[in-house]
Amino acid sequence: MATHKQLRIALRNCGVIDPEKITDYIERDGYSALAKVINELGTVRTIDLMKKSGLRGRGGGGFPTGLKWEIASKNYADQKYVVCNADEGDPGAFMDRSVLEGDPHSVIEAMAICGFSIGATKGLVYIRAEYPLAIERLKIAINQAREYGLLGKNIFGSDFDFDIELRYGAGAFVCGEETALIHSMEGKRGEPTVKPPFPAESGYLEKPTNVNNVETFANIPPIILKGAEWFASIGSEKSKGTKVFALAGKINNVGLIEVPMGTTLREVIYDIGGGIKDGKEFKAVQTGGPSGGCLTKKHLDTAIDYDNLIAAGSMMGSGGMVVMDEDDCMVSIAKFYLEFTVEESCGKCTPCRIGNKRLFEILEKITEGKGTMEDLDKLRNLSNTIKDTALCGLGQTSPNPVLSTMDNFMDEYLEHINEKRCRASQCKALTRYIIDAEQCTGCTICARNCPVNAIKGERKQPHTINQDICIKCGVCYEKCKFNAISVK
């Protein structure tokens, strides 16, 4: 794997240290950023440093972290909270899990730094119940930090107290939205509420609450130690530092990578990812999970940062990158994401609850070959309405997969509607397997492998497929050694 393009800041310790040994972390400058903040910088200079570094939220939104801290620090209350959002729900994203499993102390240290800066004494980690190992490691790390006096009372001999508790998710994607997350931590249904008030004013138990994502936290100790200028020198103009991506799908090298912001998609997919599996042709890369969109060949030289991805019709999201090849049908992909959104919509606001369901139904109609040109207008209008009117981030971004596939793959939509054809042969209702009599040698391999005996023909004579019996499983297509079977 090409590593020279990669730069590890958030993942600096993952795979290097034993995550269950606090001494390993301390040996690599662990907790010295916290010491520096408490003994040297103080709150105002720490927040200033964070602002100058240009770090933006890695959970997807990209809100400047220093600014978020400043707002929380200026709200006065008897109790404030620091929350770590570890509800990594985007399908295809696993960077937060890796940080928590591989380097839990970096998150604990950063939460304490945040607590000191905004004046909070309590930290909460909201973590998915689907991540048992991350929960285990985090528990061990918190206990060790307490034993070493790095959590608890009078940290580093100062009057700063800070401790961390865990809260568990229970399988609801919407809980990654910060207001929904806060309600879930309060033991309620994880439904979002209108902002303002922002959590920085009224969050957990109606107290000022600062919510940051796992990867955001993991970046903070190195920023404090090496300085804002160092961090700001990495990355692109408006997106500083690095980003961790989870490469998955039809790509040779799957796994986590960390690259400076501004790296191009081509470098990520070909130089680091090793190109497309089985020598197939690249079709699209989906970024930003259900809130993002599909980028195509024409975007391959786009420098990856928050603003460029939004301009291209997708978004950074938490960093999932699912690569698709010529065998993926983009209408089906849009449908797949809408199915996800329909299932995960909390149901509180109408545009999301009903609008997404309608979007899904129209897409289903198109993939079944029953779509009309009018449906395309409906899809676009409804998508724009949902974007404008939904209550929270989930609903406001849920039409993105539809809009981005319509923008980039309109020809596929048109084929489904006008020609009743799916070029990737993913839409079962639209596929027909046909044997080319001139290519067929009558080897009988297709007939012998057909699970429903739909193929007939004499030995050494061209075979035919009975379309009424054929279940379109594609076995004959895969087995034919003479390329005599085509999908129409």
Partner 1 sequence: MAAKIKIPERKLQELKDICKSFNNEKGELINVLHKAQSSFGYLPAEVQEVIAQELNVSVAHVFGVVSFYTFFTMKPKGEFPISVCLGTACYVRGAEKVLEEFKKHLKIQVGETTADGKFSISCLRCVGACGLAPVVMVGDKVYGRVAPEGVKDILAEYNG
User: Can you give the binding site for partner 1, defined by CB under 8 A?
Assistant: 88-94, 97, 129-132, 167-173, 184-190, 205, 246, 248-250, 254-255, 286, 289, 320, 322, 324, 328, 333, 336-337, 340, 344, 346
Q: What is the DSSP string of 34-48?
A: HHHIIIIIHHHHHHH
Smallest distance from partner 1 to CB 40, Å: 37
| Minimum distance of partner 1 from residue 315's CB (angstroms) | 15
Nearer to partner 1, 62 or 190 (CB): 190
Separation between Cα atoms, residue 202 and residue 185, nearest integer Å = 14
Least gap, CB of 140 to partner 1 (angstroms) = 19
Per DSSP, 417 falls in state I
> How buried is 86 (Cβ within 10 angstroms: 0-12 exposed, 13-18 middle, 19+ buried)?
buried
User: ∠ at Cα 181 (142, 62), nearest 5°?
Assistant: 90
- Shortest Å, Cβ 161 to partner 1: 21
CB of 169 to partner 1, least distance (A): 8
Query: Which residue, 219 or 286, has its beta carbon nearer to partner 1?
Result: 286
φ, ψ of residue 12 to 5 degrees: the values are -55, -35
* DSSP classification of residue 415: I
- Cα distance between residue 352 and residue 341, in whole Å: 8
Compare residues 307 and 339 and give the one whose CB is closer to partner 1.
339
Residues in the chain: 488
In the three-class reduction of DSSP (H, G, I as helix; E, B as strand; rest coil), residue 218 is classed as: helix
> Which of 114, 109, 127, 110 shows the shortest CA–CA distance to 170?
127
The nearer residue to partner 1, 36 or 122, going by C-beta atoms, is: 122
Q: Which is nearer to partner 1, 69 or 340 (CB)?
A: 340
Per-residue DSSP letters for 337-370?
HHHHHHHH--S-SHIIIIIHHHHHHHHHHHHTT-
| Closest to 22 (Cα-Cα) out of 103, 123, 119 | 103
Please say which residue, 184 or 398, places its beta carbon nearer to partner 1.
184
Residue 168 vs 482, nearer CB to partner 1: 168
